[in-house]
Amino acid sequence: MAGVTEKKGTKGTRKGDRLAEYRGKRDPRKTPEPVPNEKALPHGDDDTFVVQEHHASSLHWDLRFERDGVLVSWAVPKGLPWSPETNHLAVHTEDHPLEYATFEGEIPQDEYGGGKVTIWDRGTYETEKWSEREVKVVVHGSRVSGRYVLFRTGGRNWMIHRMDPPADPDAEPLPEALRPMRPAPRARLPRDQDAWGFEFAWGGKRLLAYVEGGRTRFTDGRGRAVDGPGGLGPRLGGQLGARPAVLDGELAVLDGRETYMIFDVPHLDGRPLLGVPYRERRERLDGLELSGPRWQTAPWYPGDGDAVRETAAAQGLPGVVAKRLDSPYEPGEESGAWRLIESPARKR
């Protein structure tokens, strides 16, 4: 297989044009990717690696190692594993030119690999073993470091395994299921409004999204696994990329279209946020800048309950949800720290 041949006492050089397959799939007149004319020639120190986040038809991460004048490449659908407990699929792809190590840009959708490419990490690596069936390396990047092994399982399919202890020993996996916290019905807004944040009640279906490695699964208000709306999961997962998160929100109908309104983040980047105050969780959620054709971060307004309630009534929304700024997230609980106040027009 191109790029992974090594004989004892050699560096694995191969005769012929190592980039023929790469060039055959690309038209330099239509793609911004580097497409060199000459054959690949060995140069450099064989120590550069890069991971590129590739938003093609399916989000994946491209792992590339400089070797004998080319970048030997694998597509990793779920990204590099952070723990030795999990192996990830890695699909061996064609060798890429060395110039690709600095490439970022938008490949036209009608071209091979169409989509946005960004550099997720890069650095240097050391080779411990390089053969047709197994590659062992030590990588030194800004986001990922440690010993990894890639081993071939059949055809172009390989697996990648982290050999070192977890990159973040304190990281916790996403929960399998989380029952959402529920507001308690109240007739009036809280008196001490400065201690509260206010959101619109959307009147939609409660939905929790579990995003990891660009993939998304969903549970309902009872913590049961459900199918997400068509097209929402992959695109929402693609926006978060490699960041694992649990998102809490409602699937509401806005302007005749189902939209996932996200208003909480109980888990982010390997850290449960259940005990973190509501204000801080909302600030972290806002920092994710989640916005798309079928999802958006719901607005919130600290200390301004009367104005939010008036706006909700004017827009025909069910009401307002008041949340104490210092309140934790209590899974499965109906808590007075969250209060649902109906719009005046909806009261009976």
Query: Could you please report the per-residue DSSP string of 96-128?
Result: EEGGGGG--EEE-TTSTT-EEEEEEEEEEEEEE
Torsion angle of the four alpha carbons 301, 307, 308, 311, in this order, in degrees rounded to the nearest 10: -140
Q: 7 falls in which pLDDT band (50, 70, 90)?
A: very low
In a domain, 113, yes or no: yes
Instruction: Give the C-alpha separation, 243 to 265, whole Å.
Output: 12
Residue 206, pLDDT score: 96
pLDDT at residue 15, as a whole number: 54
Supply the mean pLDDT for the chain: 91
Give residue 220's pLDDT band: very low, low, confident or very high (50, 70, 90): very high
Buried b / exposed e over 284-297, threshold 16 CB at 10 Å, is bbeebebeeebbeb
Query: Is the pLDDT confidence value at 176 over 80?
Result: yes
333 — phi, psi (to 5°)? -100, 145
Render 158-213 in DSSP notation, one character per residue. EEEEE-SSPSSTT--PPPS--PPPEEEEESS--S-GGGEEEEEE---EEEEEEEET
Query: Can you give the pLDDT at residue 4?
Result: 55
Joined tokens for residue 76: 């990793």
Residue 133 located in a structural domain: yes
Give the pLDDT confidence score for residue 46 in this predicted structure. 81
What is each CA distance from 132 to 4, 95, 150, 156, in whole angstroms? 5, 14, 10, 11
Per-residue confidence (pLDDT) for residue 14, from 0 to 100: 47
Q: Which two tokens stand for residue 145?
A: 């470091």
Domain check: are 191 and 306 in the same one?
Answer: yes
Q: pLDDT tens, 242-278?
A: 899 999 999 999 888 999 999 999 999 999 999 999 9
CA dihedral 170, 171, 176, 179 (to 10 degrees): 80
CA 305 from centre of chain: 34
| Winning range, highest mean pLDDT, from 26-30, 75-79, 196-200, 313-317 | 196-200
pLDDT digits over 100-123, tens only?
999 999 999 999 999 999 999 999
* Range scoring the smallest mean pLDDT among 195-204, 224-233, 287-296, 301-310: 224-233
Three-state secondary structure call for residue 16: coil
Q: Let me know whether 190 and 284 are in one domain.
A: yes
Q: Is residue 316 part of a domain?
A: yes
| pLDDT level of residue 230 (50, 70, 90 thresholds) | confident
Do 99 and 205 sit in the same domain of this protein? no
Q: Which of 153, 22, 166, 3 is nearest to 80 (CA)?
A: 166
Whether residues 136 and 208 share a domain: the answer is no
What Rg do the C-alpha atoms of the chain give, in angstroms?
Answer: 25
Q: What range defines the domain where residue 313 resides?
A: 182-346
Residue 246 pairs with which residues in a beta bridge?
210, 267
Q: What is the total count of domains within the chain?
A: 2
Location of structure tokens 């060039």: 23
CA 285 to each of CA 49, 90, 167, 264, 333: distance values in angstroms, whole numbers, following the listed order: 32, 31, 24, 7, 21
195 and 341 in one domain?
yes
| Closest to 82 (Cα-Cα) out of 141, 156, 157 | 141
How many CB atoms sit inside 10 A of residue 235's CB?
16
Residues 272-327: tens digit of each pLDDT: 999 999 999 999 999 999 999 899 999 999 998 999 999 999 999 999 999 999 99
Is the pLDDT higher at 42 or at 202? Answer: 202
Q: Which of the 8 DSSP states describes residue 289? A: -
Claim to verify: residue 202 and residue 144 sit in the same structural domain: no
In angstroms, rounded to a whole number, what is the distance separating the alpha carbons of residues 221 and 2?
Answer: 50
**Residue at a domain's end among 162, 193, 218:** 162
> Looking at residue 3, what is its pLDDT?
55
CATH of the domain at 283: 3.30.470.30
The verdict on 191 and 321 lying in the same domain is yes
What pLDDT score does 231 carry?
73
Q: Is residue 4 part of a domain?
A: no
Provide mean pLDDT across the span 135-142.
Answer: 96
Mean pLDDT of 6-11: 38
What is the model's pLDDT at position 42?
62
The pLDDT of 10-37, averaged and rounded, is 80
Residues 219 and 290 in one domain: yes
What does the alpha-carbon distance between residue 6 and residue 1 come to, in Å, rounded to a whole number? 10
Residue 41 in this model has a pLDDT that exceeds 80: no
Helical residues (DSSP H) of the chain, grouped into ranges: 20-24, 232-240, 278-288, 305-314
Q: Is residue 11 part of a domain?
A: no
* pLDDT surpassing 70 at residue 12: no
Q: How confident is the model at residue 8 (pLDDT cuts 50, 70, 90)?
A: very low
- Report the C-alpha gap between 78 and 248 in whole angstroms: 22
Statement: residue 2 has pLDDT above 50: no
- Matching residue, tokens 């909302």: 282
Residue 11 pLDDT greater than 60, yes or no: no
Tell me how far apart the alpha carbons of residues 94 and 48 are, in angstroms, rounded to a whole number.
17
Mean pLDDT calculated for residue range 222-234? 86
